[in-house]
Structure 1
Amino acid sequence: MMNRITLKQLSFLVIVFSLFSSTASVAQTISGKVFDKETGEPVLGATILLTGSSVATASGEDGSYLLKNLPANKSLEIECRFIGYSVHKETIMLQKGETKNIDFFLVSEDKQLDGVVVTGVRRRNTETAMISNIKNALTVSTGISAAQIVKTSDSDAAEIIKRVPGISLIENRFIIVRGLSQRYNNVSINNGAVPSSEADGRAFSFDIIPSSNIDNMMIIKSPTAELPGDFSGGFIKISTKNMPDENSLSLSVGTGINTVTHFKDFSLLQSSSTEWLGFDRCARPLSKDFPSHLGSMTDPSQITYYTKTGFNNDWNVKTFRPLPDLKLNLTWNRKIGDKVGTILTFGYSNANKTIPDMQNTRYGIYSATADVPTIEKNYIDNQFTNEVKINAMNNWSFILDSRNRFEFRNLFSQIGKNRFTERYGTSTVSGEYYENQTEMLYSSRLSYVGQLAGLHTLDEDMTQTLNWTVDYSYANKMEPDRRIIKNIGGIPADKVITPDLPSYNDMINRYDQKLYDHIASVGADYKKSFSDRSWNPEIKSGIYGEYRIREYTPREFIYRYDRLSGDERVDYINLPYTEMMNEKWLGYDKVYIEETTRKSNAYDGKNSIAAAYVEGVFPFGAFQANLGVRAEWWNMSIKYDRAISASQILMTEYKYDKVSVLPSFNVTYSFNDKNLIRLAYGRSVNRPEFREVSPAVYYDFELFAEVQGNPDLKMATIDNVDLRYELYPSAGETVSVGLFYKNFRNPIEWNFIDMGGSYRYSYENARSAYTTGVEVDIRKSLDFINIPDLTLVLNAAWVKSRVKFSDEGLVKEKDRPLQGQSPYIVNAGLYYTSSEKIGLSASLLYNIIGKRIVGVGKSTSVDGNSDYDVPDAYEMPRNVLDLTINKTFGKIVSLKLGIKDILAQSVIMKQFPTTTINGVKQEREQITRKYTPGRSISLSLSLKF
């Protein structure tokens, strides 16, 4: 036992020593990086040598080099050479034991060598290049490269990004950064604005971008003047693949199963002929002659006509056992000469998912007298979802000469989701009764992002650059004929039914929703470098303009049966829901349709942003300071009709107008080439979105609650502070520890409203909030313990936040953590890569997040007694373990096996009410939702020609 303990202690010392020992040296050396002076990009394979000697080395993928064994106390001439560039020479003198940092900036000869034009494009998709980007960045940032992505079984950007320090996901597609929800984060694709894919707020859905299209993802966590000011958690910069290295054609075919989905019964509403393409334009939309509003219609024959023909009244549900999931990817890379290149990708997937026996419970105020929970609704859900994704990307690069390059990028995505949910259980809101509920939902999302960009060097000395972009983005979200049915058919006879239930007229609801988003933006960035041997400052400036319009049109309908006789009504509500739309029941004097659309739910929105910034980068010895200021003008308007009558129009418009001045600074101190520390401060804002300020009301079936906007919302302001230490032991390795603090004024949060039997969520400005935390990121090869093929990646974050609400009002809302914030997040991974001859790689990835608020509660007591609160609902921690194994056979064939969520632990959401018993405050637990997602197993075959 003693020997084993000693070995562990020695191993720990070896690890610690290996991380830090490489920072010390007693020999005379020089190190640094080699860059292309025109583009600022690292140069791979340049030769650095001591003139007239055999002492030489070469630069790596990130341009870094290390030249050792140099003589001391004498003048030395160092040369840097690379084909196609002029030789760069430096004269230096080293003291005994000294290490000096020298960066070389090579100037292209811009001429043909033996009939060959030498051109190059920076490789940004390697792990070494990503670490280099993080190290040389002027901000606190992190990221993930294509080289790391390919080692996992992640299929899209949503699955990839959760591997990044301090990031977690909600609904498997919306990100939480440092405990801040999606509203506090911003996204760009190739530096261009992206549209929101959701009606309820700013929420870019990361699942629209397949992993095979991504070159790298950078997450910037501290504000800087050149970035948009509307973010506080993180600014996610997604770069798609662009200039290919070679001509190639790649094809990938994959399949997969889930242990709770496949080889079991699966139910869906009959599909349309186009669903396999990710949209429905024929089975569910309203009939072409359907009127714009039914509210003023009184003609019995017309009411009968549209009741029978206005909608598709096929309610038959098919039950089957789904085939394994299908996934196809095709990538075509083509270089046309040395100055033109294109990448074309196409992807298709068709996947099924079952969530069986999901517990869904809504509680009221805990009963302190009986010491038991108050259950208002207690349901069991069985949910079945089919999701089809089609994506395509076509990017072009045009290199005119060594000083001018143009890029044209296009990204398209179409996602269709068919979901069927069966719900059964009891409700006690107005007397206890048993009920069946069914939701049939089809939604489709189309996204397009197009960009034309130019990168220009303005002078022969290559000290001035101008980059510009023109972008257009479009998104729509369609929910044609969403159906929600309550019925009694099939309910066991011993279940209690309230006598007044047959008189209900809202048992069948149908909804139609359309959302259109357009964004046009233009931006330009100018940079001037001042070249001096002792001081090389940079000045940057830029402008940005964005114009966004949105059109949101929802419609709501119910089927009334108040004209049926009492006996007919009882017979009707006891029918199976598949027979309730039988034509014999439909008509003006039977079951007829009525439109209940609130005109105020539809709105048109416009949003304009104009921005300008200036910043400077000033090196002072080991210090480097980035100081800047950004000014943004924001103007938003939203129009809606508040008239109740269909024949009346009462247009109302809300306008928001604000100018924000946003200072920022980032200071870096480099102890040496391997150690540095950063301090950053920046002010940012968080603006309300269209949906959040509109009076529109939307019913969320999963929450069994309504969601409504608040036109009185104000813009939030955030001050952000970061401090981070970074260590780079060797190429491809990093260790960092960071602290952060954020202070919010007027943060926008959800609030909960009890509508007397029904629930509603809305938005409000809290008085203030803060979030603070610690982040650790380690990426270390295990070659120091003779396992060179194994790399450890570990990142973790510990976060604390608090929202403080206003003291105004009879009942004060209690302070609580930010919604969606986890107190800790841990990601760990072991990556194995064999020699090229063996061709085997594998990864074992682990993830866990701490409990986080997914549903806000409500204080109800005037004296602040928490025994009478509706408590917050928390998603509880669960351990997630993924395994991926990839084997190549020669240079053409590769096979990948992936197992996701190996442990398959249940997803559990809980409330923690308090109750006072014998004068002692005690905490209780009650489960609001629980389900098991199952394990997913995938297998794919890839061919590259």
Structure 2
Amino acid sequence: MVKTNNKIVLLLLSGFFIVFEAWAQKGSIEGVVYDRSHNETLVGANVIIEGTTTGTITDFDGRFTLSNLNPGTYNVLVSFISYQPVILNNIKVEPNKSTVVKVELEEITTAIEGVTVTAARKTNTEVAMLSTIKASLTVASGISAQQITRSQDRDASEVIRRVPGVSIIDDRFVVVRGLNQRYNNAWINNASTPSSESDQKAFSFDVIPSAMIDNMVIYKSPSPELPADFTGGFIKISTKNMPDENFLSIGYATGFNTSTSYGNFKQITKSKTDWLGFDDGTRNLPADFPSTLKGLTNSQLASLGQKLNTSWAPQSVQAVPDQKFNLSFGRKWQKGNKRLGNITSLSYSNTFETEEVNHSEYQVQLVPGQEPPFNHNYTDSIFTRKVKIGLLHNWSFFTGKGSKIEFRNLFNLIGKSNAIIRNGLNGHEGFTIRSYQDNFQNRTTYSSQLGGEHRWGDNQKNKLDWVTGYALSYRNEPDLKQLRTTLQDEPLIPHYNEYYAAVGITPSVSDAGRVYMKLVEHIASLGVNYERKLKIGNWEPTLKSGTYGEFKARYFDARILGFAKNSSYTESVWLPIDQIFSVENINTSPDGFLLRESTSKSDSYNVSSILGSAYIALNTNITKKLSFYGGLRAEWMNQILNSYDRYGRPVKVEDDGIDIFPSANITYNFNEKNLIRLAAGISINRPEYREIAPFYFYNFTDEAEFVGNTNLKNCLIHNYDLRWELYPNTGETFSVGLFYKKFNGPIELVFKPAGARPLFTYNNAEGAYSFGVEVDLRKSLQAIPMLKDFYMVLNASYIHSKVIFPEGSIFRNRPMQGQSPYVVNAGIFYQNDKNNLSVSVQYNVIGDRILAVGIPFQNQDQDIPDYYEKHQHLVDITVSKEFGKKVEIKAGVKNLLNQKYNTYQPFIGSNNNDLIMNNKLYEQGITFSLGANLRF
């Protein structure tokens, strides 16, 4: 049971007390916008109080609400594209009451001089996003589809970099407020997302193409209706749904990367369907392959080894420039007030990447100031082909009577093949080696939700929304092959300057290993939310309550095979790499090889979890300018993991308990353009399945092993936010925010002393804290005549964090693992509607952060330093030109500065300076792209 923080509880109770002592004095304007000729409601019409930036858009039933208005008289402007605008004059707003109006717009059928028609604001525009953020009951940030189209961002992981305080790890894992992916939660539309990662607590954002996104909102403060398992941010991705009009869109783009070797690209194993993102069976075990090789005769082992795919040598293939296709269409049917709409989008991309990575690992630094000896010093040539197929298929039905039903489906398939050729020094053993890895992985994600929203009663004071969802994550890595060869560098011994296969009499994953891994995760969910506008005398609060249930099951299985010698060293190991494991060399003779199995019970695990939650919340005004939103959330979690330790003993890890999470959000509106928010709440961070599973995994790319920790505990976090927001003009904003977070038992990836290779596991630190400041600016430059078509965006965050250790501990002072000390996103945008030309220059940088925590060794002068990722300055340029209404040409340059990706360890240098030793160093290249899009 979570012990709640007294300050938060006091704040929450005080808010409720003040609410009941001081009833609201503000009023509101509500209404419905109709088409006068057809008596049908209009979706997405602009409704704005004249002379201010306060406004909204009509929902799918044509309804709107302008709330939190001071008593007085207002003029309301209502506009919609192709309709004549209407001004409602002298609308009287009284305290604690809602003024109801009916608006009828007349369609413009002829040219009317002097009439200005304002385009509709919808959920996918920047203005609509700013309105959403301003009206939010919590601290939030977001990005719209309109801004996404002005960049080269290919998927959600790249899009979300543009949001204040957000950055990316490994091209797909989101970091919010400098906190790494484990502290963030993500939903697609209104349901939980699956994880396709076997060793990460995160949703892989690269599975959602950017063209499928309507908007993204990141909630940064706890709220009763949001899951408690987030601390940095709760990310809600809304995919496209009801089309504005019937359309068909076809797009094609191509590009090339300066670091990719298109003429000398390497692959080891290929199948006929790799271009579709999945293997055709070439890499799979034969259908009649036994479930275990243990206990079989040598003759049977030799026969089975001969049946496997024996391709080990890299082959040159002709890589082509990036290819990207997309096809989207939308249809809308309408009869009276009823509407039915469908949006379907299909996308495909095929890319090739080449990287030359300098990869080093170090032993203990014996003498401060001197470079530590190498554990290994390699150069990795990495050849990667990635194929993505995405399908979005959404339906919407609006009854015209306060109800809508939505059916949303998202399918994504990613196929990734890697060939790695490694050369260099294995310092631990003192050999020069040449190793090979052949890896193919297929990740499939499917998410489906059926949901609805219903309103009824006077002024629709009752609202009920519900969603039922199913999600599937499937990850398959068939035949992960790894082979190590060693250089014979003694001139007087035969085979001088030749490489021999380092194959022993027992199988080894790294020497001649073959690993087959599968992960399957199912998620079923059901959520219901009810909202009721009450009237108690002069007090008109809104009461919200709801429940959410989720069942999750994950199954992970790894099978580890390998070739081993039948006897002592033989001449066959000096053969070329493409002949070593040929069929004729896999036999029972003394100089032959046999396929053996080293799979243990700990190489698989299964997990099931049930999450049940319920909340109650209150939203109301306290005074004319002060409003309160807060409540309580209860979550029951039952999680059971079953596996085995490395000695074959059963392991069962169970977490069962009910936790209570209070939260409170207070907003003070100085006027229509200024407001300040104060928020507090408790959240939780639970261990991920892989982090508690006792499964040892050798990662060839990192030349390291990873293992879970069955003793991990939940981490409790107290969150506090203070933010001032300014909305000077339509489409402009400026905000400054402060936040503070206190962690009880944060979970971190840490180094664990072991043998020849680094070993990493997960531990709870005693405690930690982080505090920071965020700045968000969006400003038009139209006041400067020469820059009237320009506007700028700036998001910057500075964060300080510190881990707390027990008194007398030898551990060094340091930030939290995964914490970025600063994040900066900036952009200059040029938009000339007359010439249909737009240009954007966008910049991003994140500060150095700890990827994995080191450990003191013997004393603080002889330790393993923390592993850091160095900052990179990223600059992207995009130019887009429209020709008429049907053709758009877009060109771009990505990663213009081409700074090297760099991870490092700060050892002890002379004069108390750090001695920086690089772990990984490589160029990612500059990407040039050119594409066209046709819309019919």
TM-score, normalising length: structure 1 = 0.87
- In the TM superposition, residue 784 of structure 1 has moved relative to its aligned partner by 1.6
How has the CA–CA distance of structure 1 residues 668 and 108 changed in structure 2, closer, same or farther, with 3 Å as cutoff?
same
* Residues in 1 aligned to 2:679 and 2:619: alpha-carbon distance in whole angstroms: 13
* Residues in 2 aligned to 1:434 and 1:876: alpha-carbon distance in whole angstroms: 29
Q: Which residue of 2 aligns with 1:20?
A: none
Which residues of 2 match residues 718-757 of structure 1 at below 5 A?
A: 718-757=717-756
How has the CA–CA distance of structure 1 residues 316 and 346 changed in structure 2, closer, same or farther, with 3 Å as cutoff?
same
- In the TM superposition, residue 618 of structure 1 has moved relative to its aligned partner by 1.4
- In the TM superposition, residue 345 of structure 1 has moved relative to its aligned partner by 0.4
User: Unaligned regions of 5+ residues in structure 1, if any?
Assistant: 1-29, 50-54, 68-72, 95-99, 115-119
Cα distance per residue 1:592-633 (max 9 Å; x no partner): 111111111201110110000000011121011111110000
Does the CA contact (< 8 Å) of 1:713 and 1:765 recur in 2? yes
- In the TM superposition, residue 211 of structure 1 has moved relative to its aligned partner by 0.6
* Residues in 2 aligned to 1:478 and 1:281: alpha-carbon distance in whole angstroms: 13
* Residues in 1 aligned to 2:428 and 2:192: alpha-carbon distance in whole angstroms: 45
Q: Which residue of 2 aligns with 1:160?
A: 159
SS at match of 2:302: helix
Does the CA contact (< 8 Å) of 2:333 and 2:341 recur in 1? yes
* Residues in 2 aligned to 1:41 and 1:577: alpha-carbon distance in whole angstroms: 69
Q: Which residue of 1 aligns with 2:168?
A: 169
- In the TM superposition, residue 580 of structure 1 has moved relative to its aligned partner by 1.7
- In the TM superposition, residue 291 of structure 1 has moved relative to its aligned partner by 1.0
* Residues in 1 aligned to 2:466 and 2:530: alpha-carbon distance in whole angstroms: 9
Q: Which residue of 2 aligns with 1:813?
A: 811
Q: Which residue of 2 aligns with 1:19?
A: none
Q: Which residue of 2 aligns with 1:12?
A: none
Does the CA contact (< 8 Å) of 2:179 and 2:818 recur in 1? yes
Identity of aligned residues (%): 38
Q: Which residue of 1 aligns with 2:803?
A: 803
Greater CA drift, 362-371 or 329-338: 362-371
Q: Which residue of 1 aligns with 2:6?
A: none
Q: Which residue of 2 aligns with 1:380?
A: 379
SS at match of 1:866: strand
Q: Which residue of 2 aligns with 1:288?
A: 287
- In the TM superposition, residue 365 of structure 1 has moved relative to its aligned partner by 1.5
Q: Which residue of 1 aligns with 2:278?
A: 279
* Residues in 2 aligned to 1:514 and 1:463: alpha-carbon distance in whole angstroms: 49
Cα distance per residue 1:488-507 (max 9 Å; x no partner): 37989699999996757532
- In the TM superposition, residue 305 of structure 1 has moved relative to its aligned partner by 1.2
SS at match of 1:222: coil
Q: Which residue of 1 aligns with 2:637?
A: 634
* Residues in 2 aligned to 1:578 and 1:164: alpha-carbon distance in whole angstroms: 49
Does the CA contact (< 8 Å) of 1:36 and 1:43 recur in 2? no
Q: For 2:476, give the aligned amino acid.
A: M
Q: Which residue of 1 aligns with 2:585?
A: 585
Q: Which residue of 2 aligns with 1:312?
A: 309
Q: For 2:929, give the aligned amino acid.
A: S
Does the CA contact (< 8 Å) of 1:33 and 1:59 recur in 2? no
* Residues in 2 aligned to 1:875 and 1:58: alpha-carbon distance in whole angstroms: 43
Q: For 1:626, give the aligned amino acid.
A: Y
How has the CA–CA distance of structure 1 residues 145 and 369 changed in structure 2, closer, same or farther, with 3 Å as cutoff?
closer
Pairing 1:874–2:868 present: yes
Cα distance per residue 1:548-568 (max 9 Å; x no partner): 00110101112111x2454x1
Q: Which residue of 1 aligns with 2:515?
A: 511
Q: For 1:935, give the aligned amino acid.
A: I
Does the CA contact (< 8 Å) of 1:789 and 1:833 recur in 2? yes
Q: 1:939 aligns with which of 923, 930, 933?
A: 930
Q: Which residue of 2 aligns with 1:486?
A: 484
Q: Which residue of 2 aligns with 1:911?
A: 905
Which residues of 2 match residues 402-441 of structure 1 at below 5 A?
A: 402-430=401-429, 432-441=430-439
Q: For 1:528, give the aligned amino acid.
A: R
Greater CA drift, 264-273 or 127-136: 264-273
- In the TM superposition, residue 820 of structure 1 has moved relative to its aligned partner by 1.8
Q: Which residue of 2 aligns with 1:572?
A: 572
- In the TM superposition, residue 314 of structure 1 has moved relative to its aligned partner by 2.2
How has the CA–CA distance of structure 1 residues 105 and 706 changed in structure 2, closer, same or farther, with 3 Å as cutoff?
farther
Q: Which residue of 1 aligns with 2:779?
A: 780
Q: For 1:659, give the aligned amino acid.
A: I
Q: For 2:796, give the aligned amino acid.
A: A
How has the CA–CA distance of structure 1 residues 370 and 127 changed in structure 2, closer, same or farther, with 3 Å as cutoff?
closer
Q: For 2:605, give the aligned amino acid.
A: Y
Pairing 1:858–2:855 present: yes
* Residues in 1 aligned to 2:887 and 2:91: alpha-carbon distance in whole angstroms: 50
Q: For 1:882, give the aligned amino acid.
A: D
Q: For 2:837, give the aligned amino acid.
A: L
How has the CA–CA distance of structure 1 residues 184 and 643 changed in structure 2, closer, same or farther, with 3 Å as cutoff?
closer
After superposition, the CA RMSD in angstroms is: 3.5
How has the CA–CA distance of structure 1 residues 720 and 42 changed in structure 2, closer, same or farther, with 3 Å as cutoff?
farther
Q: 1:303 aligns with which of 276, 301, 315?
A: 301
Does the CA contact (< 8 Å) of 1:448 and 1:474 recur in 2? yes
Q: Which residue of 1 aligns with 2:625?
A: 622
* Residues in 1 aligned to 2:52 and 2:441: alpha-carbon distance in whole angstroms: 62
- In the TM superposition, residue 579 of structure 1 has moved relative to its aligned partner by 1.7
SS at match of 1:539: strand
How has the CA–CA distance of structure 1 residues 729 and 503 changed in structure 2, closer, same or farther, with 3 Å as cutoff?
same
Does the CA contact (< 8 Å) of 1:167 and 1:177 recur in 2? yes
- In the TM superposition, residue 231 of structure 1 has moved relative to its aligned partner by 0.4
Which residues of 2 match residues 314-713 of structure 1 at below 5 A?
A: 314-337=311-334, 339-356=339-356, 358-368=357-367, 371-430=370-429, 432-488=430-486, 503=504, 505=506, 506=508, 507-530=511-534, 535-561=539-565, 563-566=566-569, 568=570, 571-589=571-589, 590-620=592-622, 621-641=624-644, 651-713=650-712
Q: Which residue of 2 aligns with 1:717?
A: 716
SS at match of 1:302: helix
Q: Which residue of 2 aligns with 1:224?
A: 223
Q: Which residue of 1 aligns with 2:45?
A: 44
How has the CA–CA distance of structure 1 residues 557 and 35 changed in structure 2, closer, same or farther, with 3 Å as cutoff?
farther
* Residues in 2 aligned to 1:48 and 1:776: alpha-carbon distance in whole angstroms: 28
Q: Which residue of 2 aligns with 1:895?
A: 889
Which residues of 2 match residues 250-269 of structure 1 at below 5 A?
A: 250-269=249-268
- In the TM superposition, residue 273 of structure 1 has moved relative to its aligned partner by 1.2
Cα distance per residue 1:795-825 (max 9 Å; x no partner): 10101111224569xx743342112212111
Does the CA contact (< 8 Å) of 2:889 and 2:930 recur in 1? yes
* Residues in 2 aligned to 1:87 and 1:458: alpha-carbon distance in whole angstroms: 28
Does the CA contact (< 8 Å) of 2:242 and 2:395 recur in 1? yes
SS at match of 2:133: helix
TM-score, normalising length: structure 2 = 0.87
Q: For 1:826, give the aligned amino acid.
A: V
Q: Which residue of 2 aligns with 1:202?
A: 201
Greater CA drift, 486-495 or 924-933: 486-495
How has the CA–CA distance of structure 1 residues 321 and 597 changed in structure 2, closer, same or farther, with 3 Å as cutoff?
same
Does the CA contact (< 8 Å) of 2:503 and 2:512 recur in 1? no
How has the CA–CA distance of structure 1 residues 529 and 331 changed in structure 2, closer, same or farther, with 3 Å as cutoff?
same
SS at match of 1:470: strand
* Residues in 2 aligned to 1:492 and 1:789: alpha-carbon distance in whole angstroms: 70
- In the TM superposition, residue 577 of structure 1 has moved relative to its aligned partner by 2.4
